[in-house]
Amino acid sequence: MDISSVGVVGAGQMGNGIAHVFALAGYHVILTDVNEAALTNAIALIDRNIERQVTRGKVSAEDKAAAMSRIKTTLVLAEVGPCDLIIEAATERETVKQAIFEDLLPHLKPHTILTSNTSSISITRLASRTDRPEKFMGFHFMNPVPVMQLVELIRGIATDQETWDAMHAVVRKLGKTAASAEDFPAFIVNRILMPMINEAVYTLYEGVGSVKSIDESLKLGANHPMGPLELADFIGLDTCLAIMNVLHDGLADTKYRPCPLLTKYVEAGWLGRKTQRGFYDYRGETPVPTR
């Protein structure tokens, strides 16, 4: 299957990273969002991030210019419909994602492959609401996309082999590595990672440790490159809570219940780095723990 044009829906931290790596790999990218500022910020961030690669000698100035010229933005969702491949990377809420796919349907080409970058939501259920469940799958990039090597490929119950093979070939063209996961809540990476982050929040909530001592313990005691609370802020606390809710609802096991303190941070709008406050306050020169 020949894929040359890619539509990316949602220009947040994942959408901009996805647009960045596809454009550098030679694909024509159309990036859409409901928020005009998100599109403007995404282009500025992609430019800055590719420039950093140029400075490090990993990308030439010509390749950067060519990649930037391959990225278009639009506020009109329908304009991404005719792409060969669509990657939905909007907010981690099932109703939002379903509405996007429903609105896209009339504008798709017959061969268009639909994918979602969801961290946890059922691929089979999202696919069942479209006209092409066999051409629908999970395409889960890691954050930050230009840096992280892995892409999880998630097969819904109806996903056909041709679609899986086409996405596997795309992952190879991006120079990344694919891991295959079955469609169960939160797949592989977040099934394992998110309960650890949630447990770190419980450890804070119960007063076992402070933000600083919890993060230092895992960095120095388990050799993790980032502490779990720092990582939660990096991912986004709303996304972490949404994933825990999917695990809790989907696997019906109390061991997945989201920590009330995580819920409280989300209620406060303290979502981590993207809102400048979470378990740390990022408004000054160095991050300061908020508890």
> Which residues are known catalytic residues?
119, 140, 152, 190
Cross-strand pairs, 139? 153
Residue 166 contacts ligand NAD per CB under 6 A: no
CA 204/CA 180 separation, integer angstroms: 34
Q: At 255, phi and psi to the nearest 5?
A: -65, -15
Residue 240: CB minimum distance to ligand NAD, A:
9
* Contact (Cβ atoms closer than 8 angstroms) between residue 120 and residue 94: no
Distance of CA 176 to the CA centre of its chain: 15
CA 66/CA 62 separation, integer angstroms: 6
Bridge pairing between strands 113-116 and 136-141: parallel
- Cα 90–Cα 158–Cα 243 angle in degrees, nearest 5: 35
Residue 89 contacts ligand NAD per CB under 6 A: yes
Residue 33 contacts ligand NAD per CB under 6 A: yes
Site residues (CB under 6 A) for ligand NAD, limited to 98-117: 100, 117
Residue 150: CB minimum distance to ligand NAD, A:
10
Q: Which of 49, 53, 74, 91 touches ligand NAD by CB under 6 A?
A: 91
Which range of residues in 136-144, 173-181, 210-218, 262-270 is near ligand NAD by CB under 6 A?
136-144
Q: Which of 126, 235, 247, 259 touches ligand NAD by CB under 6 A?
A: 235
Q: Where are the beta strands (DSSP E) in 129-233?
A: 136-141, 150-155, 177-182
Residue 6 contacts ligand NAD per CB under 6 A: no
The site for ligand NAD (CB under 6 A) is made up of: 9-15, 32-35, 38, 89-92, 96, 100, 117-119, 140-143, 235-236, 239, 274
